[in-house]
Structure 1
Amino acid sequence: MQVPFLGWIQILVFCGMVDFGLYRADPSRDPGDYENAGILGVPNASGPMADAEGRKRKLNSELANGRLAMMAITGMLFQNGITGTTGPAMWGF
């Protein structure tokens, strides 16, 4: 399937609007802390949480979940390297 030329233009314009419109970097804010980004980066213009403690707790849980996901994929890679497969095929299902 080929993407027409105007389709590529539409994709580039959309990416430019998101990058230079919604998620404009502000030097007075932390990196990645955009004014128009809502919870988890959904652009609903709700802004970051006003409660500093709640924000810190949510960011720490997001970091912990990311680390858990990295450990899980590393375990799957090692399992695949040792047994040659991962998942139900290993048990003959």
Structure 2
Amino acid sequence: MKVTGLLSCIAALSCAFAFQAPSAFRGNAIKTAASRSSVLRMSSDEIGVTKPLGYWDPLGFSKNIDGVDRRWRMVEIKHGRIAMLATIGYIVPYYFKLFPEGKPGTEALTTIPQAGLVQIFAFIGALELWVFYQSPEKEPGDIAPEYLNWKRYSDSDVRTKKLNIELNNGRLAMIAIMGMLVQDSITDKPFPWI
């Protein structure tokens, strides 16, 4: 219970910081924003830099780094996609059950045998290392196999808009799945209306 209380506090603080208006960070943080954006080469028309916050780093985590922005973008896209799937996968079993004896939420982990968990982790590892491998030569998030001959978008404005939508949906899904996990572990219900 203490761990879930700590997780709740961390989630609440991070959400409070995430939705602060940019005017709340006037002063030194705004002055160093230009130097951080030049380090990360992110301008207002860059993918992932969206209104109203723009390039948002109020605590200055990225001011002394160089060359890791590509890795961070790859990880952000991957975690956003996983969080979007996890959010849907967390909600659907509460409304649609394939097996009547199945348990939804965090309680479902207690019903899986250890051999099943090993199989799940092996499957995820195979997807990560072979099927959805992120090649260093490709753009972050472009994990389509070569034989598909897949092109994201030909129009750069449409491409930027669509990729920003995907990033923002992924960011929201990361917050949503953490909120559902914390609430489920505290109240045994991931949603207040259930």
Task: Provide the TM-score with structure 1 as the length reference.
Answer: 0.46
Considering Cα pairs closer than 8 Å and 6+ residues apart, tell me whether 1 or 2 has the greater RCO.
2
